[in-house]
Amino acid sequence: MITEKQIKAAAASDKAYSLRDGNGLFLEVRPSGTKVFVRKYRWRGTQRSDTLGSFPDLKLVEARSRAVEIGLQVKQKIDPRGERVERSRGGPKPKAKVQEVVPVERRYETLAGRFMEKRIAEGMALPTVKKVRRHIYKWELEKRRADGTVETIWMRSEAMRVFEGRDVGSIKPPEVLNLVERIQQQGHLEKAKDVHRKLGEIFDLAIALGYIEWNPARQVKRAIVRTKSGGLPGLTDAADVGALMRAVEEYDGSI
């Protein structure tokens, strides 16, 4: 994975070179100093390299979003370049389905990424960053292969699985309510509250950017079941308290 700091620091060389990010996404640094995002993938047995845009006109988070989208299109046998694929055997050529293209900057995942960047810039603690990414965005999972190498897999949050690729202006209050209630029904009450709260902040950001005029998460606040947090577990037996104090006293680890 690369960072915007690394991208900005990447200097031009006599020959073009690439910095790998993930999901087939590369940053190509050309001798002219131009920095271009490129997505590599295989289509019908042929290796392709599609140029997504130049940095800084195209932000890293937007390039990653487009890279994920291309991967999904390939899995669904949809040509990312817009060509119609997979004709029915022996049947007539199907008509191309016209799909509305959602601008990258208006997609849920782009706004969620911008929200994460904002909170990190504001000094959010690393453990909190990891928790929030798991709740409303995505996170990296390292999986060790049999040969000892490590494979990095992007895991999507429930919110990402529901809203990824969607125009933030198309997300309605009932969809937010259904997502939060589903998490509550799984027994994750605190997570449900945090997801609802963070979605509200993401939509607030979208309002500030002029993409939407009202916040669908705020509209369902009174419809969500409110739960009281239970008391924190504690030691009530004198013997247990004594054992705890001795354990603290004898602990020789670091802070």
Would you state the structure tokens that stand for residue 1, as one six-digit string? 């994975």
pLDDT tens digit sequence for 35-63:
999 999 888 888 888 888 888 888 888 88
- The type of residue at 205 is L
Any idea what the Cα angle at residue 44 is, between residues 43 and 46, rounded to 5°? 65
The per-residue DSSP string of 128-173 comes to HHHHHHHHHSEEEEEEE-TTS-EEEEEEEPHHHHHHTT-BGGG--H
Q: What pLDDT, on the 0 to 100 scale, is given for residue 232?
A: 60
pLDDT tens digit sequence for 185-239:
888 889 999 999 999 999 999 999 999 999 999 988 877 766 665 556 677 777 7
pLDDT tens digit sequence for 81-97:
764 344 334 445 545 44
Any idea what the Cα angle at residue 175 is, between residues 62 and 70, rounded to 5°? 30
pLDDT tens digit sequence for 107-155:
999 999 999 999 999 998 888 988 999 999 988 777 777 887 877 777 8
